[in-house]
Structure 1
């Protein structure tokens, strides 16, 4: 194969010095045909490639090697075999050739796959307030000392490139609702169109083209915020390429190295600060003289006004056990004792669990995301204590129950009494009718006077209750006085004279 220096010298010897082909061939040690080829082609470099690559040993194993390379490519990146491992497996099947032959074939095989899979795309442009894009990513953090995979919601305004990220334990529908509400509250508005992939929390049915049947609750959320949802074509991530690129950027800039936080709230506050600081520090990709934050401020007047929070819960029917517990998402939550025996409806929010029965709220708890946990509200069990006061001492809901202020001091003093549990139950029952503040004031007054019995506390409560409003009696119009009566004792004397005279 001719090197570039030899080609250059042949051209100079002939075109500059005027030497004959025979002389050039003799001086450079090449054939005259080679000299003629260089001069006639006018090329300055020559490369040789075989049109047919002989594979005397690999030939009969090409089919098996193709199958192994295709299966290896279908695996997750961290599970794929290296090429030397593929070669070793092929050797185990009986291949007697070299590793270099396998390596050369695998390289050409990959080049052919890439050339067939690479597509061309059309760059997209969006007007201010026209569209936003939404997507999820999975990131690994250390949360309260434990390595945890969190689900991160990404929202990106297509015009200004301003983005919002928030981490959640799950990708469930109530998390989708919460992410949208927090993003729109941060943006102080939303766009007229939202671009999504075909996630199950949003799309129920995918038809040909752009036709979709959106989930009923998801459609309600979009109607609340005045957003038109649009789902991408399956396997066409370029239709929401901005948020796809954002996933990689956030993973590289925010989650590397691995984040360490105690709670989700602490992590999400940090992420929000990073979103703002990144937007203030980086230039807009199309308008390099302005930052992303400046473009965001310019886009804000074009956003649809924020409509307030959407009641974004996931509803699930449930039954109440005789221990006043409702099971939801592998955990148990207590409800008011009056709810036992009838079905309830669990409203699961991103951070809270509300339980309703016939429209009335019977429980409100912080949401748990572990397994096998039980969340008690001791006040739910106070009506049961009226029948079983002994349960106050050993009941699971009352363990480590910290009562506020004077109410807690009353309980501590009654603990040594023979009927202390019964008296404390009477005081707790009064909270359900008079309210916690009133009972605590009554307890404080009783302690101030040096007593702590339930009778004294209940007596103070009864004295503090406001008297009921008098019942008003409507007087018929015929009995209404037309003239105000005048005090006149002479009228009484005249009546006496009349009576005495008649007698």
Structure 2
């Protein structure tokens, strides 16, 4: 209760209990008699009247401002007057000297009044949508920054949200291209254990839509996206372009911001995006106990009811990576999307098959995987693996010291201080060239021995004063056998899915030859007396 309401209550009580007059009550409480009469008439104090401010400097220009605001009703939305523009025109064209706050107060009030007087459309309202379990979902991309391997990198957060339960699946990548768009769907379907049976709402993403047909919900879809959604039985719903359609998938629009504020703040520091995506799994588990808004049940409880109603996943997977067939240049590199990646030098001059996925690049020769790299994000960047160039370095040992492959191996930690010590000892013992060749032979051991075993073998060989690859190999095997395991590396190479060749119609030579001939007008032959020819004797007329 406010102080004025308490004063009114005291005045009314004294008047009723003690019968004091208006003058006596005014003298007792030190107020005007008019206030006493107001208190006796009503227990609720009248609202305080806000005085209407007058602006004599603005008065001569009000009609001009009103006309500008009226003209704005027919102007494009992005080319209408702002307060700053109105103030600039008043100063430049009419020489007015008015404060910004004065113009803002007037324009803020008059813009709405003029719009209503002109019969403009009222503010758009919203209708609450009824979401059925297992039916609808929403998809969106959002930006996020990550300190990736010590470098601040702009990444993209893919969010897939079920409309009924609010269960959301997230995946972060360095690209928002089509391969990341498709890979996000596959990850979401596997995590949820099924596919929504209703519509999935999208804005007009370029990985899915190539052209928006105006004044229509129809879209020209990207062929690869069309094949993908048919494979997974997806029914898309494309929202209106721009801000007009943002409310049509407001759940996932808010989800991206919620995830960024709660799980990507402060900026995460990771060595790889796989590490961050693995952390997302734990974050999503924690979200099961959260209640959205004023809902009674949690996200996990609603999803338990929704999960059995999702459509089952197809039996065959869909390759989300984009396929390229570049040729390996003389530097042992292949170019993929303005970035370059190394492959073993024995494939120089050959055409290889590359799968560009959201976070990795896989290179095949035939059906054999020959290289796998983390995807690069910077234009013109290069990723080199020292092991790919060892055959060339045996013939050109002097090129090792200044090579980019060695520099990247040092930064990645695969070329350890033990390798550096062995190289220095080998060069002192065998000379510059032969010592480098001995190091290359040691590096070749990594192809069939465990990395830690080779490092242990190098340390044992240095302790014994030996600088040969044979001693390193022997000591590496001893280190593995001492722990009761095999030192040999067992590599399981996944094979890519075979791609069926396109079905093309075979040309018919007969059709090509007869296409230019005139039509045959002759009557069909009569075959009624065909059997008589079986008894025909040579030299005798069958008739």
Cα distance, 1:355 vs structure 2: 2.6
Cα distance, 1:291 vs structure 2: 1.6
- Conserved in 2, the CA contact under 8 Å of 1:130 and 1:191? yes
Q: 5 Å matches for 1:46-445?
A: 56-60=60-64, 62=66, 64=68, 74=78, 83=83, 86-96=86-96, 100=102, 103-110=105-112, 116=121, 118-139=123-144, 149-192=154-197, 193-207=199-213, 209-234=216-241, 235-250=244-259, 258-263=265-270, 264-265=273-274, 267-268=276-277, 271-283=280-292, 288-306=295-313, 310-358=318-366, 360-399=368-407, 402=414, 411=423, 413-416=425-428, 417-418=430-431, 419-426=434-441, 428=443, 435-436=448-449
Distance 1:405 1:274, change over 3 A: closer
- Conserved in 2, the CA contact under 8 Å of 1:58 and 1:97? no
Distance 1:149 1:362, change over 3 A: closer
- Conserved in 1, the CA contact under 8 Å of 2:83 and 2:107? no
- Conserved in 1, the CA contact under 8 Å of 2:445 and 2:454? no
Q: Structure 1 stretch 275-284 or stretch 124-133: which is displaced more? A: 275-284
Q: Structure 1 stretch 405-414 or stretch 300-309: which is displaced more? A: 405-414
How many residue pairs get matched?
Answer: 399
* CA distance in structure 2 between the partners assigned to 1:377 and 1:141 by the alignment: 25
Root-mean-square deviation (Å): 4.4
Structure (1 or 2) with the larger CA radius of gyration: 1
- Conserved in 2, the CA contact under 8 Å of 1:139 and 1:152? yes
- Conserved in 1, the CA contact under 8 Å of 2:65 and 2:86? no
- Conserved in 2, the CA contact under 8 Å of 1:201 and 1:215? yes
* CA distance in structure 1 between the partners assigned to 2:279 and 2:110 by the alignment: 47
- Conserved in 2, the CA contact under 8 Å of 1:150 and 1:170? yes
Once the two structures are superposed, residues 247-290 of structure 1 have per-residue CA deviations (whole angstroms, 9 ceiling, x without a partner) of 454456556xx4221124555455554444344131575xx332
Cα distance, 1:358 vs structure 2: 4.7
- Conserved in 1, the CA contact under 8 Å of 2:157 and 2:256? no
Cα distance, 1:294 vs structure 2: 0.5
Q: TM-score, normalised on structure 1?
A: 0.64
Cα distance, 1:409 vs structure 2: 7.2
* CA distance in structure 2 between the partners assigned to 1:440 and 1:170 by the alignment: 37
- Conserved in 1, the CA contact under 8 Å of 2:352 and 2:363? yes
Cα distance, 1:161 vs structure 2: 1.7
* CA distance in structure 1 between the partners assigned to 2:194 and 2:253 by the alignment: 22
Once the two structures are superposed, residues 372-396 of structure 1 have per-residue CA deviations (whole angstroms, 9 ceiling, x without a partner) of 4321111111121243233234333
The gaps in structure 2 that reach 5 residues or longer are: 1-51, 53-57, 477-543
The gaps in structure 1 that reach 5 residues or longer are: 1-48, 462-503
